[in-house]
Structure 1
Amino acid sequence: MKVAITGATGFVGSLLVQRLHGKGHQIVVLTRNTAFAQKVFPSEAFANVEIVPYTPNASGSWQSVIASCDGVVNLAGEPIGEGRWTPERKQEILNSRKLGTQKIVEAITNANPKTEVATTGSHPLAEVPSVEGSGVGTPATRRLPTVLINASAIGYYGTSETATFDETSPSGNDFLAQVCQVWEAEARKVKDAGVRLVILRFGVILGNGGALGKMIPPFKLFAGGPIGSGRQWFSWIHVDDVVNLIMQALTKPEIEGVYNATAPNPVRMADLSQTLGQVMNRPSWLPVPGFAIEALLGDGAIVVLEGQQVLPKRTVETGFEYKYPNLQSALRQIIT
């Protein structure tokens, strides 16, 4: 199987590349910074990785590489939890997802012209032989991308201290919810080319780095505690389970549509802080007041001060087996 990945040098993407490479697959890393990508994936260790420069919000020669791939994983997007949400920053957050996904879909569509593939009046993917063991189809003459795995986020649902959300829940109406709606709408256009689409709405991803990396230092200094009220929901997932979900989505043709990439056991922020303290053998006694986060992040404080209880109903229904379904086991693996 040959897979193109955007956001491949990031927290999730780099682990996904390692996993795919370890299983003998070919990977195309689409990156804005080839020098950095070459450091992350040195050729002597990653012989099956091809690094291709691309401009996420512009058409270009990079799009032709998509036509040689079986699948595409689109993880790119400006970080939402870094810096104040100025009007300019909010536009960057939106455009990086909207325009970036537009160009990925454009590339896939150009590789999968419906009029060319569906010449007999059959389904665009009919009579396409599969790659042994991959679950991904290819025509006899050349590869065509048959699946797009597109990132989204549980911010789609808005925030609530009392409601429970699953994949069938309606969207919220705050800024992040609007971003996710636009993001997903752009991804859905790939279905016009007869391409299977899987949208993964990510919760807070826990691993070495990411959000957890910012929480651990205060606990090491015996100054850890819940953020804000502590009552807000924290819907999380271990990064290993995220990678496994993506691998499953790539290789199982029956998986299609929206899935929540969250663990089945969300917790309150206060419970997260208490469990983190227990795992690190540190007290959880010094709350971080909400006004301090608001002073630092402005509107972006919503990311940590408000949350949502999200359940992965459809994900569980696929038979996906979580490696880390409970917070304590996830934190112990990461910290110890």
Structure 2
Amino acid sequence: MAKVIVTGGSGLIGQAFCREMHNAGWEVVVVSRNPQQASPVESFCRIGWEDLSHEMESAHAVVNLAGENIGAGRWTEEKKQRIRESRIKAGEAVLQAFRQVSRKPTVLMQSSAIGFYGIQHGDTPLDETASAGKDFLSLVGVAWEDSTREVENLGVRRVVIRTGVVLAREGGVLGRMVLPVRLGAGGPLGSGKQWISWIHLQDQVRAMRFLIETPSSRGVYNLSAPHPVQNRDFMRTLAKVLKRPYWLPVPAFALRLLLGEMSTLVLDGQRVIPARLLAEGFKFVYPELEGALQNLLE
């Protein structure tokens, strides 16, 4: 039985990924700051960061998902510092563990996000060759990815996953978007023209396993469905699935007042295409938004 070590295993993606790997026959080890506390990640083995290098000696893969939740709370300067430092420090700790072990895991999967591309691209489709942006999330993404880059010099296959907006039954952004629609007040957010590059949680974790189990896969991959949509179409489809009216837009200024700088998460976006995943033969269970929402909400 091959072993995979997961940092950030208690988050939305982390929990689903651990279950996916466990069901596929992998031994799953979760790295935690408090390994003795009760875990939402079922009964998987939990270790502290101080034990990471020891566990690596017998591991095939390491998946680094650790990082502060960007969608929880306003982006104060302190919050922004935690968002950045939590990602970089986790990456540095993983890199240090790789340096310490003589028998290194074969592959490292490094988490990132499509925020890497920034908000300056407009309607331009973005594959993995697109350049980084210059805003806060872009700079965080660049630093996050760079934090483990050195493992490639140690002979380790590294896969970087730039994840889009993950849709799930519980957790994530979908619940927040569903509530006003259920109340009959659903409509586009701001201009409604901003792109949402989304992915069903099931496809997210299936794609992660696919990349780990495919020895030729290395480098950067966009993890988003092949058909991104504009916000107005997302909200219209959501209203259709919930059989609720598609109503007036929520003004951009109101969202900026409510959310501050964090409003970029709903008012700005990127039109991202998973070009490398598709080229390597990955098949999405939910390539279209309506089917994904029907599965999650009906």
Q: In structure 2, what is the equivalent of residue 295 of structure 1? A: 257
- In structure 1, runs of 5+ residues without a counterpart are 43-48, 55-59, 113-142
**Residues of 2 paired with 1:325 and 1:10: CA distance?**
24
- Change in Cα spacing, 1:36 to 1:229, as seen in structure 2 (3 Å) is farther
Q: In structure 2, what is the equivalent of residue 27 of structure 1? A: 28
1:222-262 alpha-carbon deviations (Å, 9 max, x no partner)? 12121111010111111111101110111111000000001
- Change in Cα spacing, 1:229 to 1:37, as seen in structure 2 (3 Å) is farther
**Would the aligned equivalents of 1:76 and 1:100 in 2 still touch at CA under 8 Å?**
yes
- In structure 2, runs of 5+ residues without a counterpart are none
Q: In structure 1, what is the equivalent of residue 132 of structure 2? A: 171
**Residues of 2 paired with 1:65 and 1:262: CA distance?**
31
The root-mean-square deviation of aligned C-alpha atoms, in Å, is 1.4
More displaced 10-residue stretch of structure 1: 199-208 or 222-231? 222-231
**Is 2:274 the counterpart of 1:312?**
yes
**Would the aligned equivalents of 1:224 and 1:283 in 2 still touch at CA under 8 Å?**
yes
Rg (Cα) greater in structure: 1
SS of residue paired to 2:69: coil
Letter in 1 for 2:14: G
Q: In structure 1, what is the equivalent of residue 174 of structure 2? A: 212
**Would the aligned equivalents of 1:228 and 1:305 in 2 still touch at CA under 8 Å?**
yes
TM-score of the superposed pair, with normalisation by structure 1 = 0.84
Q: In structure 1, what is the equivalent of residue 45 of structure 2? A: 50
**Would the aligned equivalents of 2:108 and 2:159 in 1 still touch at CA under 8 Å?**
yes
**Residues of 2 paired with 1:158 and 1:38: CA distance?**
34
Q: How many residues align?
A: 295
Q: In structure 2, what is the equivalent of residue 138 of structure 1? A: none
Find the partner of 1:111 among 101, 107, 111. 101
TM-score of the superposed pair, with normalisation by structure 2 = 0.95
Letter in 1 for 2:11: G
**Would the aligned equivalents of 2:18 and 2:41 in 1 still touch at CA under 8 Å?**
no
More displaced 10-residue stretch of structure 1: 95-104 or 14-23? 14-23
* Structure 1 residue 35 displacement after superposition: 5.2
**Residues of 2 paired with 1:171 and 1:201: CA distance?**
12
- Change in Cα spacing, 1:263 to 1:37, as seen in structure 2 (3 Å) is farther
Q: In structure 1, what is the equivalent of residue 13 of structure 2? A: 12
**Is 2:56 the counterpart of 1:66?**
yes
Q: In structure 2, what is the equivalent of residue 40 of structure 1? A: 41
**Residues of 1 paired with 2:32 and 2:51: CA distance?**
13
**Is 2:50 the counterpart of 1:88?**
no
Find the partner of 1:247 among 209, 215, 222. 209
More displaced 10-residue stretch of structure 1: 301-310 or 64-73? 64-73
More displaced 10-residue stretch of structure 1: 216-225 or 62-71? 62-71
**Residues of 2 paired with 1:61 and 1:261: CA distance?**
30
SS of residue paired to 1:38: coil
**Would the aligned equivalents of 1:67 and 1:107 in 2 still touch at CA under 8 Å?**
no
Q: In structure 1, what is the equivalent of residue 145 of structure 2? A: 184
Identical positions, percent: 43
* Structure 1 residue 37 displacement after superposition: 4.8
**Residues of 1 paired with 2:203 and 2:82: CA distance?**
29
**Residues of 2 paired with 1:168 and 1:272: CA distance?**
26
Q: In structure 2, what is the equivalent of residue 2 of structure 1? A: 3
**Would the aligned equivalents of 1:83 and 1:296 in 2 still touch at CA under 8 Å?**
no
